[in-house]
Structure 1
Amino acid sequence: MFNNQRLKSRLCWLVLNLTLISSFLAWMPVKNSAAAADRTPPYVLSTSPASGAYNVPIGNNITIKFSEKILPGPLATYNSISVTDAGGNPVAFVKNISSSSLIIDPVNFLGSSSYYSITIPAGALKDSNGNRMRAKYSFGFTTAAPVTDVTPMTSITSVTNTTPATDTTPPVTNTTPVTDTTTPATSATPTTGTTTPATNTTPATDTTTPAPVALTVSGSDPSNGSTDISLDKTISINFSETISKGTNYSNIRIQDAGGNLVTTTNSINGAVLTLDPLNNLNSSATYRVTIPAGAVNNQNGSSLVTDYTFSFTTINTTNLASDPSAVDVKSFGAKGDGATDDSQAIQNAINSLPTGGTILFPDGTYLIPASEIKIKIPNITLTGSGNSIIKIPNGNFYIVNNNVTINNLKFIDCNRQVLHFESASNITVSNCYFENIGSDFLIGKISNYHSPPVHLSQCTGAKINKNKFYNIKSDNVIRVDGPGNEFTISENEIDTTSYKGIMIGYESNNYSGSIDKNTLRNIGLTTPGDGVGTVAIYIGSPSYSLSVTNNYIDTTVENGIEGVAGLIANNTIKNVGAIYRSGITTTSNYGISPYATQLVTNNTIENSRRSGIKCWTQSLDVSNTVWTGNKISDCGRDESNVGIYLSVNGVPVSNVEIKNNTVTTTQNSNTGIYLRVSNGNNIQVNNNISPVLVDSICTGVIATNNV
């Protein structure tokens, strides 16, 4: 009886332990596999040369370093990786992969003083687990100007010994370092004999103190040799470091081919010297810019060693006017005096080119009081002379055909929208200036969205680049809506708006394109309302084929960047929420509000009133997203100093990574990164330089190795 009872007890103990072991073994691989599953695609860590670099040697390879080892994606996509010059012309190159780096080796040397763009399509590269790049990545740089050696060579006089000595002794080699301080003697009488000359193979020690490092030029706009430069061009020269006026500052000059001086106003801002001509430059004229040695200094007092010069040529408006496919609006009766209604003359000029051509606007102010100028003809270019101003109080340009280009025009004092493109392809707006646009929207005369300076509706292949916008009072500055794809919005300057800067529409379309290298300042500065709708870059529809990269945003009412893209990377965002006065009640003051953006990486966010990066949603699935390598400083002062904030409630979320970010604050805080995820799975928060606070409501959050 005793033995049976003891046996039963041991059997029960054994069964219990086997059950526990079995449960542990069953649980362990599930947990480990969830943690180990790699869903993170490769993303760019750095490029050489860096994005926006100047003075790049023309023979250098191009290297793009990724976050992990990479492999080619589908062959067609991999072969779509491209290098193009400023005109969009392809550059031949050989590419190869070395571990985590893509190396691009141009077949020939690149051109001097030239801009080049590198584009890697989404999906072109993948990691060893098959995770492909989620969005297109592009960057560019400018090569160095040709090197001209202006330093004269030191003449070396050879000495002739008319009586050669017969050398019968092997040379003596001196292997001990010798400092030669002896002044060579001059022999007036040639010596005849068999003396063996001594050979000193050790160079003398150079005790000369190194000269201070000289100041250098890293690039200019326009670059050396540029053509078709607008007549109102402001010239800028970029230096290697911060500069100040030197003793030769007054001798900085611009001269035409005849040596005539151009009157300019010169100024310095950091490392940039700006030369602003008082009057327009001449048509089809070559100008030479000279920055003399000693004109500017660095902080150590060093200057340029020699004069720095470059030249450029302005646009040839004479050729345009004489081209049979080009017409001058004044030849159709336009006055350009700012008082006469030029609407019909401009429309007649456009209609006179049924197969396309160029419409030239000479210097003047053209008034279009209330008409809609229609461009229904393909292959049309509207171009100005550099000082061609168009005023459209209550009208606009309506473009509904393909291959239309608008450049070098100034649009000023237009109450409604200016350029409305609809169902058009291959359109370009470049080097235009827009000021004081959209007053009717601001005062409530119109309530729909037909008010931005540039409006793209259902367009494909649009390029909006290098334009300047100032004091825009409409609800958007650049707007894209309706089905359409492959647009590029790049290198524009937007300063002082009442509402949004760049707007990608509300419709449920997956937009494809890039928003790159734009500068946006004072967004919402003149808003008359509560500040709602004053985002610098707003994406109204989830667009996983859209990249938002390399933009500079400084001073907004609401968010810097908001919406769902494939990639938000390498942007600098400062002073979000800095515009705050009586009547502004919005509390949406985040650097980036990315929601379900697939990859948010390498952004720098400073001095945001609320979080630097924040996603708060109760309905949007933000699974399979990565926030990595971002630098957040002095953000969240109205939000418990939280730099990164993820709050998802009411919807399941899984496979989110927040890693390798740096969050700093001038105030004590234990909530640099804050998570509130009520139904999460595999939410990884790892290797951040920041305190992390995981709310008690959270499930599925794994936080490790955070400092």
Structure 2
Amino acid sequence: MRIQFLLLFLVSFPFTAICQTDSASDNKQLNILDFGVSADSQNDQTEAIQQVIDQASEGDTVFFPEGEYLIRTLLLRSGVNILSEGLIKHHSAAIDGAYSMEKQNSPNPLILGQEVKNVTISLRGESKNEGIYLLKCHQISVYNTNLTGDSTKLRAYPGILTFESSGIEIVNSKIHHFGKPRSETHSYQPGTGIRILSSNTISIRNSEIYQNGENGIFIYGSRNIEVLDNVIHHNGMSAIQVAFGDKGKEKDYNFTNNIFDSNAADAVDINNRSPEKAMDIACVIAYNISCDNGFVKGESTPDGSGIGTLINISNVLLYKNQAYRNNRPAIYVESCGVILAKDNWADNQVEVTLDLEELVLEKNRFSSINLIANTKAEKIQIKNNELGSLSFPDGIHVKEMDIENNRISNASINLNMKGKLHLTENKIENKSKKPTLLIIKADDALIENNEILSENSSAIVLRKTARNIQIVGNHIKSFNTAIFDENSTALTVKDNIITSIKGGKENQAFRSHHPNQLTLKGNEYRGIENTETVLLIGKGKASIGKEKLVSGTANYGEVEVSEIYF
């Protein structure tokens, strides 16, 4: 079963380690001040610093002591490392570009690596374009780096940009203020912390990515990406956004143990708008904490999922995430394949829409689970959760729905669906004046071994369009009529304990109008004294046997009753 693979995937996510060439004993640290570079000069130092980098041997480290160094762009060389305690900053001579979809890289990034490999970078940088741009680079480590962008820029380049690169790690770093802060709820502008394009094997760990104009991390057409143990906050779009190209490379993502705070859109947004079938992306979203996403200046944006927005994808595990005070659903699922959400905690809902292969929600705590009216699913399992409510609007089509062993604290569930329903071993409470279960239509529904407390309304109401409903072994305590059958077909009510709560207009434990192939067997009724507890109205046929009236009376009226002896 594919869900089993998702569980294994959580503990065995394969990330290829990023290796640097071992430094030989004669590798040198080259202090740029020893080569004629001036600290704190107002002059352009690009050529003097570049000469030091170009003269270095593989394995050497070019060192920038304390001070400020003004440059246009420094070009990396394979095997030559950069270590800066001082500030590397754009000189006014650097060409100031404006990001566009046609031109996604600037003429003057602060640091440019082009087809280089085996380089470590640690620096303080201040850039009006990209901080670091890696083009077709391999085995690059950026660590203990602080990159500051231009927070006045309306269309900003990213802090770190990779294109067709691999084996990149960004560790213990800060990337911030690339782009103007978002000011409108329904519009935003470019300015991403880290932008990963057509790349693979990227690791972003133990870093802080914040106050950028757009996404914290944007991933496009890339695979084998891990984002671990980061704090991503106050960005103008999502903390992490995954977008899809046309080559089908998007796979193997691990977004684990991060904090997503006060981003203007989603915590994690994975959005595949391809017309093709839901794409298997092998993704884990786990152990993240998310809060206050989906707002600009206290006003709601159209986004803001606390755990994840999942669109047209498959093979995703959401595990042990926590989400608080976010604007949109904790989990939003649209046109997906196999999705497993387990052991998550959120103060808002799960929302499901359009086509779905298999959704498993297990051991979570959500305010509600909402299926939108156009939902069509092969299988939905809702097991061992703590929920406020379930919302199933008219017209959903779920071939197999299992709702098992949940605690539902404020249930008013409307069932008007095509497909099989098993509602078993749940603890269900309802304080509203709407029925706890309103069954308009369902195929072969089994309501078994539940504890149902309905304090202000009927527990179960069946419309005449319902067929083959079995209500078996439940403990039902209800105000008004506990089970009200409005001429459904082939209803079986068996081995239930049904208790009436005083005060309702209709105090029956069970009532059926014109019963149609009704079976009552082995139920125990605890009705109101001197009140009709079991009432059959009009004409029809019913099979009744081994019933027990602890209190109240039975009135079968004109219904044709055959007794059950077995």
TM-score, length-normalised on structure 2?
Answer: 0.58
**In structure 1, what residue type is equivalent to 2:39?**
G
* 2:75 counterpart of 1:374: yes
Cα distance in 2 between the residues matched to 1:485 and 1:570: 23
Which of residues 310, 325, 331 in structure 2 aligns to 1:594?
310
Deviation sequence 1:281-315 (CA, Å, 0-9, x none): xxxxxxxxxxxxxxxxxxxxxxxxxxxxxxxxxxx
Change (3 A) 1:676 1:430: farther
Deviation sequence 1:532-557 (CA, Å, 0-9, x none): xx111111137331111111111121
Cα distance in 2 between the residues matched to 1:672 and 1:624: 17
* Structure 2 contact 295–301 (Cα < 8 Å) conserved: no
Cα distance in 1 between the residues matched to 2:34 and 2:57: 17
* 2:174 counterpart of 1:475: no
Cα distance in 1 between the residues matched to 2:150 and 2:250: 27
**Correspondences of 1:18-37 after superposition (within 5 Å):** none
**Correspondences of 1:282-321 after superposition (within 5 Å):** none
Q: Structure 1: any 5+ residue segments left out of the alignment?
A: 1-37, 45-65, 67-72, 74-117, 123-135, 139-319, 525-533, 636-642, 665-670
Cα distance in 1 between the residues matched to 2:66 and 2:270: 42
* 2:278 counterpart of 1:562: no
Which of residues 165, 176, 200 in structure 2 aligns to 1:485?
200
Q: Give 2:217's aligned residue.
A: 502
* Structure 2 contact 228–255 (Cα < 8 Å) conserved: yes
**Correspondences of 1:439-454 after superposition (within 5 Å):** 439=151, 442-444=153-155, 451-454=157-160
Q: Give 2:88's aligned residue.
A: 390
**In structure 1, what residue type is equivalent to 2:154?**
I
* Structure 2 contact 320–345 (Cα < 8 Å) conserved: yes
* 2:12 counterpart of 1:120: yes
Q: Give 1:549's aligned residue.
A: 256
Cα distance in 2 between the residues matched to 1:608 and 1:382: 40
Q: Give 1:625's aligned residue.
A: 339
Cα distance in 2 between the residues matched to 1:463 and 1:678: 40
Cα distance in 2 between the residues matched to 1:468 and 1:39: 38
Cα distance in 1 between the residues matched to 2:27 and 2:58: 12
Deviation sequence 1:347-373 (CA, Å, 0-9, x none): 1001102545210111110001xx332
Change (3 A) 1:611 1:121: closer
Q: CA deviation at 1:43?
A: 5.3
Q: CA deviation at 1:631?
A: 0.7
* Structure 2 contact 16–201 (Cα < 8 Å) conserved: no
Cα distance in 1 between the residues matched to 2:346 and 2:57: 55
* Structure 1 contact 515–548 (Cα < 8 Å) conserved: yes
Which of residues 319, 322, 326 in structure 2 aligns to 1:604?
322
Change (3 A) 1:121 1:500: closer
Which of residues 227, 240, 251 in structure 2 aligns to 1:515?
227
Q: Structure 2: any 5+ residue segments left out of the alignment?
A: 18-23, 95-107, 180-189, 272-280, 408-566
Q: CA deviation at 1:469?
A: 2.5
* Structure 1 contact 552–572 (Cα < 8 Å) conserved: yes
* Structure 1 contact 399–421 (Cα < 8 Å) conserved: yes
Q: CA deviation at 1:579?
A: 3.0
Moved over 4 A (4+): none
Cα distance in 2 between the residues matched to 1:663 and 1:389: 47
Q: CA deviation at 1:119?
A: 7.4
SS at match of 2:328: coil
**In structure 2, what residue type is equivalent to 1:626?**
L
Cα distance in 2 between the residues matched to 1:679 and 1:137: 38
Q: Which moved further from structure 2: 589-598 or 487-496?
A: 589-598
* Structure 2 contact 230–259 (Cα < 8 Å) conserved: yes
Cα distance in 1 between the residues matched to 2:16 and 2:391: 33
Change (3 A) 1:462 1:630: same
Q: Give 2:4's aligned residue.
A: 41
* Structure 1 contact 646–676 (Cα < 8 Å) conserved: no
**In structure 1, what residue type is equivalent to 2:270?**
G
**In structure 1, what residue type is equivalent to 2:329?**
S
* Structure 1 contact 416–439 (Cα < 8 Å) conserved: no
The structure with more helix, counted as a fraction of residues: 1
Q: CA deviation at 1:431?
A: 0.2
SS at match of 1:345: helix
Larger radius of gyration: 1
Identity of aligned residues (%): 19
Q: CA deviation at 1:383?
A: 0.4
Which of residues 127, 135, 139 in structure 2 aligns to 1:422?
135
**In structure 1, what residue type is equivalent to 2:254?**
S
Cα distance in 2 between the residues matched to 1:383 and 1:431: 10
* Structure 2 contact 57–80 (Cα < 8 Å) conserved: no
**In structure 1, what residue type is equivalent to 2:3?**
T
